[in-house]
Amino acid sequence: MNPVSQADILNLALNFMECRILLSGAELDLFTLLTPKPLSAREVTDRVGANFEGADLRGITILLDALSAIGLLIKEEGTYHYPSSISASLSSESSESSNSILPFVLHMATVWKRWSSLTDVVSGSSSRDKPDAPSGSLRDMSAFIGAMHVIASPMASRIVAAVHPQSSRALLDVGGAMGTYTNAFLQAVPQMKATLFDQPEAIEIARKFLTDIGILHRVTLVQGDFYQDEFPGGHDLAFVSAIIHQNSPEQNLNLFLKVFRSLDPGGRIIIRDHVMEPDRIRPKDGAIFAVNMLVATDGGKTYTFDEIKTSLLQAGFLNIRLLQSGEHMDGLVEAFKP
């Protein structure tokens, strides 16, 4: 690793500025307002004011200029529009498109607010209650589910291929959100059926997504809370994706026990998450994501393979192994119910 220079530190300290400019542009839906045709700062201010009380011409103008300076907008003859290369990425009119990253950007705006309390959380001076799972407004929940789809879509087929699911016939997708991985498994194994288990808001989003892609007839949608409710039985494969990091060790043991009970003998569980090296500083993304869990949950963090293995053994699983390590929450752990 190269030594960190003073310039590196200064750049790191300044990095938040362009990020915040993007997030505010997305929260104000500027990229949608500028979709039909270029607008002046006054026109943008008037339209933003219809949705947000007190839209300020000075503030909107400075923000539009900054978005133009970093390449997200184009300013010409006193009007603003954005490059065609990002037209499908940040407009809310294309938020359900496979090319849209707007849900992820909006979710990061929510995450930003949590991270602002990091010093207080670490110093012990924070009195803010932290939820055990992502929560908030319906808009925040939709953005979170959409963000998970944005992250999962590019790697879902690769993850499924690493699992080698061809012999499996009944999948339980725990906390399956809109069904990105359910779809990938069902595409890989034509004989497979699936149960997608998640909260009611997620289930309705999944129902629309799975209907649109034509596979709802192969999926049973089950509403529930995996902190409170049991999973339906009769499965030979359970997929637990991006969940264990939001839990304490005790919560993970509880979760693994429920999965164990839902599996037929010989069934297996696959966990997708950051799997940390023993020193906990690798992978880098996992170490940073542990901070996200620090500010967002009461007991979450990222776990080493040995920690995951210990909880699985306590739940009754055997033949536990690391299927693959990864840098970007693509570590996979496999275990079997005797």
Inter-helix orientation angle 305-315/249-262, to 10°: 50
Tell me, what amino acid is at 53?
Answer: E
Q: Are 283 and 151 in the same domain?
A: yes
Distance CA 13, CA 4 (A): 13
Name the pLDDT band for 84 (thresholds 50, 70, 90): confident
Are 159 and 308 members of one domain? yes
Q: From CA 178, how far away is CA 143, in angstroms rounded? A: 12
Which domain covers residue 275, as residue numbers?
A: 146-336
Task: Report the candidate in 61, 34, 32 with the shortest Cα–Cα distance to residue 45.
Answer: 61
Model pLDDT for residues 235-283, shown as the tens digit of each residue? 999 999 999 999 999 999 999 999 999 999 999 999 999 999 999 999 9
Same domain, 178 and 310: yes
Residue 121 burial (CB count, 10 A)? 17
Average pLDDT for residues 316-323, to the nearest whole number? 98
Contact call for residues 231 and 293 (beta carbons, < 8 A): no
* 119 belongs to a structural domain: no
Q: Of 89, 110, 127, which marks where a domain is finished?
A: 89
Residue 98 lies in a domain: no
Q: What is the arithmetic mean of pLDDT over 114-137? A: 74
Instruction: Tell me what the mean pLDDT of segment 131-160 comes to.
Output: 80
Q: How confident is the model at residue 2 (pLDDT cuts 50, 70, 90)?
A: confident
Token look-up 């003998």 returns 265
Q: Check residue 141 and give its pLDDT.
A: 80
**pLDDT digit string (tens) for 278-304?**
999 999 999 999 999 999 999 999 999
Lookup result for tokens 């950007």? 105
Range of lowest pLDDT (59-63, 117-121, 134-138, 295-299) = 134-138
- Please check whether residues 158 and 64 belong to one and the same domain: no
117 lies in a domain? no
pLDDT digits (tens, 9 = 90+) for 25-40: 999 999 999 987 899 9
The answer to whether residues 124 and 115 touch, using CB atoms and an 8 Å cutoff, is: no
In Å, what is the CA distance from 309 to each residue of 156, 270, 316, 332, 337? 24, 12, 11, 12, 13
Asked if residue 305 and residue 195 are part of one domain, the reply reads yes
Give the strand pairing for 235-241 and 263-273.
parallel
Pick from 89, 105, 129: which residue ends a domain? 89
Does residue 136 lie in a domain region?
no
**Has residue 171 been placed in a domain?**
yes
> Domain count of the chain?
2
83 lies in a domain?
yes
Q: Are residues 179 and 309 in the same domain?
A: yes
Judgement on whether residues 154 and 36 belong to the same structural domain of the protein: no
Compute the average pLDDT of residues 310-337: 97
Task: Identify the residue whose tokens are 């399956």.
Answer: 176
62 with 173, same domain?
no
Mean pLDDT score of the chain:
93
**What six digits make up the tokens of 269?**
């569980």
In a domain? residue 137: no
Task: Evaluate whether residue 314 is within a structural domain.
Answer: yes
Locate 92 and state its tokens: 């809310």
Contact at 8 Å (CB) between 135 and 157? no
CB atoms within 10 A of CB 225: 13
The verdict on 155 and 16 lying in the same domain is no
Looking up residue 220, the CATH number of its domain turns out to be 3.40.50.150
Last residue of a domain, one of 48, 70, 89: 89
pTM score: 0.92
- Asked if residue 301 and residue 235 are part of one domain, the reply reads yes
Among residues of the chain, what percentage have pLDDT more than 90?
85
My answer on whether 67 and 172 are in the same domain is no
pLDDT at residue 28, as a whole number:
96
Q: What is residue 24's DSSP assignment?
A: H
| Region 67-74 average pLDDT | 96
Q: Are residues 179 and 57 in the same domain?
A: no
Which two tokens mark 318? Answer: 């055997």
Write the CATH number for 80.
1.10.10.10
Other C-beta atoms within 10 Å of 95: how many? 18
Question: What does the pLDDT read at residue 132?
Answer: 44
